[in-house]
Amino acid sequence: MAMTDLLSAEDIKKAVGAFSAAESFNYKKFFEMVGLKKKSPEDVKKVFHILDKDKSGFIEEEELKFVLKGFTPEGRDLSDKETKALLAAGDKDGDGKIGADEFATLVAES
């Protein structure tokens, strides 16, 4: 499944473009702009599984760094600071990674 099966290519392009500058990433605005907030919990979990590149059932810090590239190959890598902030926001149980339910909660809260 491709990200464009769930989200509009135009929305993805706009959202990724809005945060193209280093240190500009805001996950709340990004999830809203990309259209993820309007999606069903099932669709949000499908997006999670696309972003979970190693299929471990979690998005670890190393995968979070490339979260924008998960939406489109043109996306930039997040800085260490942006990655850590996103992990801190999403990692509700403190295990150092984001599970599917944590990701759904992160999107719903944004």
Does 77 show up as a binding residue in the annotation? no
Does 63 show up as a binding residue in the annotation? yes
For the chain, the first-to-last Cα distance in angstroms comes to 24
Does 60 show up as a binding residue in the annotation? no
75 CB contacts (<8 Å, ≥6 apart)? Answer: 16, 66, 67, 68, 69
Does 93 show up as a binding residue in the annotation? yes
Contact 92, 29 (CB under 8 A): no
Does 101 show up as a binding residue in the annotation? no
Does 66 show up as a binding residue in the annotation? no
Does 74 show up as a binding residue in the annotation? no
Binding residues: 52, 54, 56, 58, 63, 91, 93, 95, 97, 102
**Residues flagged as binding site for Ca(2+):** 52, 54, 56, 58, 63, 91, 93, 95, 97, 102
